[in-house]
Structure 1
């Protein structure tokens, strides 16, 4: 590191959130005892955190300095740069077997590093200093950078729609039309969300626990060092530890992603693989497998409320029994198809030969269903577990509606109060309002007409887009999708949107995808906007600054999302269309969306009508109303038993959670969540308040830094060396996860690139070779008939697995 300006590190330790020229505002020296340190702050043990207000006031400070200015050159420059970076990484992660997100913690750390560097490097005086470096990086400026970056660091459903057209229909709109589709579908949701701030943003009970690690990190970095030095030291140590730990599952010992004693004990059993396997995508349910890879676990269990965790655990257990019952009961011919898959299969499939459904044969040149061709080709099949996932999802959708109507009727009325003309300018306060929101009243709010204008402009752009993109969605279908979005933004639910679109536009899968795009994607991005507004509220960022940051971040991210998607779908086409993909690339999300578009868009009547093959799936919408009603009635009759804690939408949503991806981290997820939200929160509330969310932020930050470095450390080359199989015919070479970046999914041998490997990877490969020798010796005494089990097969190509046919 150059030492020409050693003060760069010192400025990060004594941070001022005011102008460089305000000498009278300087901090007292660290040895000054007039200001309490964080040890004094936490010396009195807090009571057990019971209410939402306890959580948001004890974990996050309810105070504000209105003099802090977020509007700087650094905010736009760093925020936009990280917006581009986040959009690139998010699109890459979307096409991985475990769909990861670019953590806002990671973006916050990068923005803090770059912001501190620019503060040190840019002049602080004269014209340059006044405009480009007016004061040290403060918390509000930092928060605005994060909002810009996070607004683009997501994969829009519109990009998914266009990817499906490229992969499965061999057609897609041009660049300008594609950008119009992406931007309009996202901004429609922003318009809706802005009008629903009363219920989704202002009340205290709208906690948004996922934001607590992020806001805690900002306070740790920017509040007085004498107050936060212990938490900052703790954060740095955990960040470093997480960074080095991730080297093990990512490179040295990828087996740590899924440790299954049962698979090791019974390596030749397909049943054991289906139940206990979970290393590869769509391999098995991962029952009792121990996942030690933090990027699969994530920080979510550290902040998910206990009630949500316990209901999720119930749903997870139900999912295991449902999936095993469907498959081994051979419901819907389940054993003629893969145990887990999101693809459509032909009726000619057998347990030893899976035949994909040829959807292009049943559609004409305009992608509309041909009844005569359907008679010849026959109806497609889902994997049995995926059909059950559709059923439980439908149950969860209507269970959510009934749950909110029964338990949150007053909130729903408040949510749609914007329809009343008298409430347009109202900004009333009552006892339910968040204490952080009350501090925000000093800043001018974004007027409702801003959001109304965004909504109107987005509708116009969207209407143009659906016609120029040849989506086959008529104008009345477009407006129907917007009506659905406006209704369900408080309820969520993608599948019901697809179902409505399927019955409104039968035989038109592209119309169904675009109906879902505007009917559901708008909901998702609307909720994302409210989350950013809540983040800004916790950070005391003025609402207009949050609004501008979101709009800029969304527009830039949309363009980058599209460009990256085109690049990936062009270069990885074959892998994205395969059943299992590799440990690095997977088309599971695209396949799932296309399968539902064909099923609901082209074949809804034939596949889901009463008495048809999957007639049970839509019946789930009717049945889903009853569980919430039953438990609400029981609560009214026996209020002291605790029926109010049973959340049927969460249980039913998790009853299909294992239908896709790598499932080996579930046990670790629930164990960490229960330890944090039950034991620490109840029995160690002082430690919980002080360190729990800092720990979550540090684990996410360290892991994402390491994963990012490994992602960019290797550059693919045209020349690839083939690694020969060892002499033992029952066992294949075990490659590391980084080797998998160059595996060809349909090759019979593993291939890898030896060029551009960092020294760390070369050294760790020797450790892997030693482990392979041990496995090879074990294989001599007991041949491995099924090498694809969790603990013994690390990323073999699909044709190495016996159950792949």
Structure 2
């Protein structure tokens, strides 16, 4: 199961956005251009090497916006309904900020002329490196909250730094294969190129038409004002589970219509709830949303009820949808009672009993297995000829006009990348050896080696198709067999093996964006390094601040800070680390059948491939098995009603508005998404410091109740009552 946001999406923007790009592009002169039509349509074949880049204006905006973005996103990561502010917001906000600085600063070295597009791209690149929350922060959190272990700030920061920056060294090698060649498109970057070009040219406004910035500011203010209702004054609006309200004392209706159950009919009028786990539905193409709906419907509303109500794997003893850990009788599993010195104790485990998980949770792991293997088959069937042809083209005809224009700038020396990679590898080994992560040096090197082995083939797939197969399941599976019973070692190995590769491809994608925008490579290097360092530091400081100031954080009593992502991360550390995959999914486990999902995923794309060939130019063209299987990758911690409301909003904008109001959709939809994210973020932050931080609450009334459905999602067979300690 995917544990990080947005991994469930494959080919997220390419098909539909290609149409948008072509419509919004600047028509280029008939001169030498990229051999790739999509790139030729949007990327300029001109450059001005005299434009300044690493200016005082850039450094001010890069540092300020990176600190703000990394703080806000880490803060929201702990929220019960998390959300993420994308770098797109910074891309929009930094433009008038840069223009303002260029106006008010005295002319000279601090203000070398008008705010230009290359400065703007660098601010966006730095913010993009700071936008994601550092994966290793979750290791620190589960150590402190669940395992009652604290290695201190230095150990935590070094682990974050190494796992976030190891990818730089890989990116230095990958640029020759994934950045320079014209065939390596990185389709998602074309949307950003279009937006940068749009912002830096005069808008052609019709009479009475709003500029994008006016629209952004008005929509942000409107959402800021509105979100006080579901966010504070009337929180029941966040999850109107009317099916459950028909009979609040019905266990069945609580399972079917409750927001902790199947969520059938549950309505959310809270933007934060809608985008909490699946990103914004305003920017995901409709064809992808249809595939996600098919996967969600089959997995959550067909397979899960059948499995639950037939009592598969004693399903009725556990909640219908949950990431919790349970004993055989349905009571909570206390991991500390089976461990000695943070390692599984065989005798204690034999006495305490095996681990059980909800049937839905087990099924999502199986679907995750199928999704991983289906990606292999799908890529081979649909993209093998394209991959081979474009790989050959990339080696034979790599020097297109954009690559030649980039020759005007000094390249980053290989030893910069190589030295950083070696340094981070040494720091990773030293960190795991000095502090007791239970991960020996050879395992650290093995995790890094897995990243190095997979990063190029996965990068080729992503550069051409926007798909990135994740290594999280494989890494935790492998180390779970090699070093069973060690939870912190398991998640550390997973982070080294999985996130290092993901970071490398993020950096490579940004290098391609800089390549398209003709930004000097050395400026990009320092911009990425700056954003990553700031993000790691601010993420950790924010996490430590919340852990020390917010009572009961990351627990069921944490209120708005129940950290559902962290809880799922912890559950994975127990399943794969403490108990180990052999005990959970091995021959003697009741969940052994889950392993057959690997085979199912390997075979499933084959019939749809031949049906597509048999019936070309039909709806079969849009069936995408990896996307369908990855649909519920965010469940848990996401609930079913998050999906239904997300899909409803997606239908309104990506189908209805796109089809019947295409000009408005093309001009404002992405801006509206960024504005809604910003408005919610401002309201939640202000509300936190005014009320939550001062431990003030809204006056109690019906609209603030959380117990309208007391049997919301509870198990059919309740666990035995545990007598209080004497």
The TM-score by the shorter chain falls in which range?
A: 0.7 to 0.9
2:675 to 698, 702, 710: 698
2:88 to 90, 94, 105: 105
Deviations 1:753-799 (A, max 9, x none): xxxxxxxxxxxxxxxxxxxxxxxxxxxxxxx9735769xxxxxxx9x
Unaligned runs of 5+ in 2: 1-22, 28-34, 459-468, 722-726
Instruction: Quote the residue 1:311 is aligned against.
Output: 291
Q: Is the 8 A contact 1:362 1:370 kept in 2?
A: yes
* 2:119 paired with 1:141: yes
Q: Is the 8 A contact 2:691 2:697 kept in 1?
A: no
Separation in 2 of the partners of 1:269 and 1:154? 41
2:371 to 384, 396, 399: 396
Separation in 1 of the partners of 2:231 and 2:512? 34
Shift in alpha-carbon separation, 1:509–1:657, aligned structure 2, 3 A: closer
Separation in 2 of the partners of 1:415 and 1:497? 29
* 2:238 paired with 1:257: yes
Superposed, which structure 2 residues align to 1:182-331 within 5 Å? Answer: 182-197=160-175, 201=179, 206-209=185-188, 212=191, 218-225=196-203, 230-278=211-259, 283-298=260-275, 300-320=280-300, 321-331=302-312
Separation in 1 of the partners of 2:429 and 2:25? 56
Shift in alpha-carbon separation, 1:341–1:260, aligned structure 2, 3 A: closer
Q: Is the 8 A contact 1:221 1:232 kept in 2?
A: no
Shift in alpha-carbon separation, 1:67–1:707, aligned structure 2, 3 A: farther
Q: Is the 8 A contact 2:162 2:427 kept in 1?
A: yes
Q: Is the 8 A contact 2:245 2:708 kept in 1?
A: no
Task: For residue 282 of structure 2, give the secondary structure of its aligned residue in structure 1.
Answer: helix
* 2:73 paired with 1:122: no
Task: For residue 326 of structure 2, give the secondary structure of its aligned residue in structure 1.
Answer: coil
Task: For residue 624 of structure 1, give the secondary structure of its aligned residue in structure 2.
Answer: helix
Q: Is the 8 A contact 2:26 2:41 kept in 1?
A: no
Separation in 2 of the partners of 1:165 and 1:494? 19
Q: Is the 8 A contact 1:256 1:291 kept in 2?
A: yes
* 2:529 paired with 1:559: no
Task: For residue 347 of structure 1, give the secondary structure of its aligned residue in structure 2.
Answer: coil
2:398 to 428, 451, 454: 428
Instruction: Quote the residue 1:786 is aligned against.
Output: 709
Superposed, which structure 2 residues align to 1:522-533 within 5 Å? Answer: 522-533=500-511
Deviations 1:502-557 (A, max 9, x none): 11212222221111010111123223323433443555433332221111111122
Deviations 1:109-149 (A, max 9, x none): 5534544454444333xxxxx23222233332233223223
Shift in alpha-carbon separation, 1:340–1:569, aligned structure 2, 3 A: farther
Q: Is the 8 A contact 1:250 1:707 kept in 2?
A: yes
Deviations 1:680-732 (A, max 9, x none): 555655444433433333333344333343344446237x6897x7xxxxxx7
2:704 to 735, 740, 757: 735
Superposed, which structure 2 residues align to 1:442-591 within 5 Å? Answer: 443-446=409-412, 449-489=415-455, 490=458, 491-537=469-515, 539-572=517-550, 574-578=552-556, 581-582=558-559, 584-591=560-567
1:671 to 644, 648, 654: 648
Instruction: Quote the residue 1:346 is aligned against.
Output: 327
Shift in alpha-carbon separation, 1:369–1:630, aligned structure 2, 3 A: same
Q: Is the 8 A contact 2:323 2:571 kept in 1?
A: yes
Shift in alpha-carbon separation, 1:693–1:639, aligned structure 2, 3 A: same
Shift in alpha-carbon separation, 1:721–1:241, aligned structure 2, 3 A: closer
Shift in alpha-carbon separation, 1:542–1:700, aligned structure 2, 3 A: farther
Instruction: Quote the residue 1:376 is aligned against.
Output: 351
* 2:328 paired with 1:405: no
Instruction: Quote the residue 2:18 is aligned against.
Output: none
Separation in 2 of the partners of 1:148 and 1:494? 26
Separation in 2 of the partners of 1:546 and 1:523? 19
Separation in 2 of the partners of 1:215 and 1:709? 33
Deviations 1:6-62 (A, max 9, x none): xxxxxxxxxxxxxxxxxxxxxxxxxxxxxxxxxx99999xxxxxxx97776767777
Task: For residue 659 of structure 1, give the secondary structure of its aligned residue in structure 2.
Answer: coil
Unaligned runs of 5+ in 1: 1-39, 45-51, 125-129, 350-354, 726-731, 737-749, 751-783, 791-797
Q: Which moved more, 1:244-253 or 1:606-615?
A: 244-253
Separation in 2 of the partners of 1:210 and 1:707? 30
Separation in 2 of the partners of 1:198 and 1:687? 40
Separation in 2 of the partners of 1:210 and 1:43? 16
Q: Is the 8 A contact 1:59 1:689 kept in 2?
A: no
Q: Is the 8 A contact 1:58 1:689 kept in 2?
A: no
Deviations 1:176-224 (A, max 9, x none): 2222211111112233344334665565784554873x55554454322
C-alpha deviation, 1:369, in angstroms: 1.9
Instruction: Quote the residue 1:595 is aligned against.
Output: 571
Separation in 2 of the partners of 1:408 and 1:98? 37
Separation in 2 of the partners of 1:640 and 1:499? 40
C-alpha deviation, 1:442, in angstroms: 5.1
Separation in 1 of the partners of 2:448 and 2:26? 53
Q: Is the 8 A contact 1:676 1:692 kept in 2?
A: yes
* 2:69 paired with 1:86: yes
Instruction: Quote the residue 1:659 is aligned against.
Output: 636
Separation in 1 of the partners of 2:88 and 2:647? 22
Separation in 2 of the partners of 1:558 and 1:302? 29
Shift in alpha-carbon separation, 1:215–1:239, aligned structure 2, 3 A: farther
TM-score (normalizing by structure 1)? 0.74
C-alpha deviation, 1:379, in angstroms: 1.0
Separation in 2 of the partners of 1:416 and 1:292? 47
C-alpha deviation, 1:66, in angstroms: 4.2
Q: Is the 8 A contact 1:262 1:276 kept in 2?
A: yes
Instruction: Quote the residue 2:143 is aligned against.
Output: 165
C-alpha deviation, 1:438, in angstroms: 7.6
Separation in 1 of the partners of 2:454 and 2:308? 33
Q: Which moved more, 1:646-655 or 1:299-308?
A: 299-308
Shift in alpha-carbon separation, 1:570–1:703, aligned structure 2, 3 A: closer
Separation in 2 of the partners of 1:60 and 1:704? 33
Q: Is the 8 A contact 2:245 2:709 kept in 1?
A: no
C-alpha deviation, 1:402, in angstroms: 2.2
Task: For residue 295 of structure 1, give the secondary structure of its aligned residue in structure 2.
Answer: helix
* 2:334 paired with 1:358: yes
Task: For residue 173 of structure 1, give the secondary structure of its aligned residue in structure 2.
Answer: coil
2:314 to 333, 344, 353: 333
Q: Is the 8 A contact 1:342 1:386 kept in 2?
A: yes
Separation in 2 of the partners of 1:415 and 1:544? 28
Deviations 1:657-681 (A, max 9, x none): 4322354343342234344444555
Separation in 2 of the partners of 1:148 and 1:348? 50
Separation in 2 of the partners of 1:150 and 1:378? 46
Deviations 1:611-665 (A, max 9, x none): 4122123332233211123333444555555645321111111145432235434
Higher relative contact order (Cα pairs below 8 Å, separated by 6+ residues): 2
Aligned residues: 668
Instruction: Quote the residue 2:14 is aligned against.
Output: none
Shift in alpha-carbon separation, 1:188–1:205, aligned structure 2, 3 A: closer
Deviations 1:556-598 (A, max 9, x none): 22122222222223344634133x742x111322222222222
Structure number, greater radius of gyration: 1
Q: Is the 8 A contact 2:266 2:641 kept in 1?
A: yes
